[in-house]
Amino acid sequence: MTTLTVRGIWLAIAALTAVLVGATAGLLAWAGGLNPPTAVLTGGAGFGGTLLLILTAVRFTAGETQ
């Protein structure tokens, strides 16, 4: 596989994982009694944080310094 293909696969895995974490965080926040807009913000923060963490970890483990 080419580098572009591998990067695409990693991006898809990272995005799907982040969506699952964000949705879970939002649902748990809503079930915990937060109003829907705050629960959506909680889910968005979970999504963003997870995506950044995974992409940073992939970049670190791949040894890319650029």
Segment 13-58, tens digit of pLDDT: 999 999 999 999 999 999 999 999 999 999 999 999 999 999 999 8
Is the pLDDT at 63 greater than 80? The verdict is no
Distance CA 50, CA 28 (A): 16
Reported as type and span, the H/E element at residue 24 is helix 3-31
- The Cβ-side half-sphere exposure at 66, using a 13 Å CA radius, reads 0
Is the pLDDT at 6 greater than 90? The verdict is no
Is the pLDDT at 64 greater than 80? The verdict is no
Q: In the prediction, which pLDDT does 65 show?
A: 62
